[in-house]
A = this chain, B = another copy of it.
Amino acid sequence: MADLIEPRTLKGFRDYPPALMLPRERVLQTARAVYRSYGFAPIDTPALEYAEVLLGKGGGENDRLVYRFKDHGDRDVALRFDLTVPFARFAAQYVGQLGTPFKRYAMGPVWRGENTAHGRYREFWQCDFDTIGTTSNAADCEIALVINDLFAALGFDRFEVRVNNRLVLNGLLESLGLADKAVPLLRSLDKLAKVGREKVAEEMAREAGVTAEQAGRVLDLAQTAGDNADVLQQAERFFAGMPNEKATEGVRRLRELLAVAETAGVPAGRIRIDLSIARGLDYYTGTIYETFLSDLPGIGSVCSGGRYDNLASLYTKQVLPGVGASLGVDRLLAAMEELKHPRLTGAATPAEVLVVQFDAARLGDYQRVARLLRAAGIATEVYPEAKKPGPQLQYAEKRGFKLAVIAGSQEFAAGVWKVKDLAKREEVAVPEAGLAARTRDLLATR
C-alpha cells in the first residue's frame, strides 16, 4: 500500500461538518427569503477573475491579501476578496441590459490571505444586498426595513439598527473647513465606542492636525444623546448657527427614514439614530447602518452598510449610486453560539424522525412510511442497515433525531407504527392513516 496522505486543511481554512453547516444554511436561507421578499434578485459572479479587474491598476492594501496567480493560459488571475468589487464589475458590464433601479443580493465565499489571529479565516462567507441606480432615500429607508425583518426572521428579538448619515458629519467638517481631513478624522471617530472621547480627540489632533476645539466640535455632534427625536432636534440646533446644506439634507433623510419605519410597522426601539457612526472608508457618502445584538454588543456590528455615490467608476463612466448592506454570517453564527440561540439545536441531522430498520424484508414498507412522512413535510431517515433497535436508537439520539418510528412483526400484524419520543422515552402506537398528523403533533409539542 502506498504511503497515506495526511488528511488536513490549510491554515486559516475550515471544514463545515453538519453541526456547523446546518446553522449556516439556516441563516443563509433566512437571508435569502427576506431579501427576496423585498424583490432583491440573486446574482452570482465567478470566484476567479482577472487580477486587474479585482485589484485595479494601483497597488492598494488588498494586493497583499489576495490569492493571485498565473492560470494555464498565463493570465494574471485572482480569487475575489469581497462581493462588492465583482458586483461593480458586473454592474458596469450589464447595467444597460438589466436597467435601473437594480436590486441584487449575492452570497458566497471570499478569500483573503490574512493573518489568522483573532479567529479570522482566510475563506469566509459574505451575504450582501444592494439597490443601485437611484439616489432616492426610499431605497435607504428600505435597507433599514430589510435589516429589521432579517433579524426578526432569524429569531432575534433584542437588536438595534444604528443609523447615521455621512452628510451630517461631512456637513460639519465642511462648515469647520476640515473637509479635506475627513478620512483621518472619521477613522478616528470610528474608535469612539472602543477607546473613549479623550483618546479620539488626541488621535484627531495627532493624525489630522486639528485643534482641540475642532475635535471637540466633531465629538460634540457625534456624541449627541437622547431618543431619536431628541438627537435629530439637537443636530438641527447644532447647525442652526452655521447652516449647511449637506447636514440639513442628512438630517432630513434620517427623519424620513424614521417616519417610514414607524408607519411601516417596525417596532419602536429597533432603529436608533447614532451620529457617531462613521464607517471610516471614503466609499460611503450617505446613510450608514450598523446592527448590534443587545445581548452581545461587544461582538460588533453583525450587519453593516451604507449609501455610496458611485459603485463602478473603475470600469465605466456611467455613475451608479446605490445603497446596501452586508450580513456578517460568520460573526452572527459565533454570536448565536455564544447566546445559545434557540434555533441552534446542536443537531447533526436535518431529519427529525428516524425509521428503525427492524426487518430487512420490510425495507419497502419502511421507505413507504418514510415517504408518507416526507410528503407531509417531515424529514425522515430510514436507518440503512437491518439490525437490533438498540444501536439504531443510540445513533438517533447521538445525531439529534427527535422521534423514532418502529415496526416489527407484531406492529405489521396490528397495522400500527410505534412512535417513540427519544427524549421522554415514551412511545405510542398509531395506525398508519393517522401517522403523519400524530407525528406532526408530537414534534410540535416537544
Contact = CB atoms under 8 A, between A and B. Distances in A.
A357 B145 CA distance: 16
Interface string A77-103: 101000000000110111001110101
A315 B5 contact: yes
A141 B363 contact: yes
A322 to B, nearest CB: 10
B37 A16 contact: no
Contact of A21 (B41, B314, B315): B41
Nearest to A46: B13
A432 interface: no
Given A94-B15, A348-B41, A367-B145, A89 B7 contact: yes
A72 interface: yes
Interface stretch (A206-214, A237-245, A256-264): A256-264
A297 interface: no
Interface stretch (A279-287, A377-385, A433-441): A377-385
A162 to B, nearest CB: 20
Given A48-B123, A53-B5, A99 B398 contact: yes
B368 A265 contact: yes
B41 A350 contact: yes
Interface residues of A, number: 112
B39 A138 contact: no
The complex is assembled from copies of this chain, and their number is: 2
Contact of A351 (B24, B38, B101): B38
A9 B77 CA distance: 10
B123 A364 contact: no
Given A41-B349, A42-B21, A384-B138, A52 B5 contact: yes
Interface in A2-45: 2-11, 13-18, 21-22, 24-25, 32, 36-45
A149 B385 CA distance: 21
A36 B350 contact: yes
Interface string A370-388: 1100100001111111100
Interface of A: 1-11, 13-18, 21-22, 24-25, 32, 36-50, 52-53, 56-57, 67, 69-73, 75, 77, 79, 89-90, 92-94, 97-99, 101, 103-104, 109, 111, 113, 123, 131, 134, 136, 138-139, 141-142, 145, 149, 256, 259-265, 312, 314-317, 348-351, 354, 357, 360, 363-365, 367-368, 370-371, 374, 379-386, 395, 398
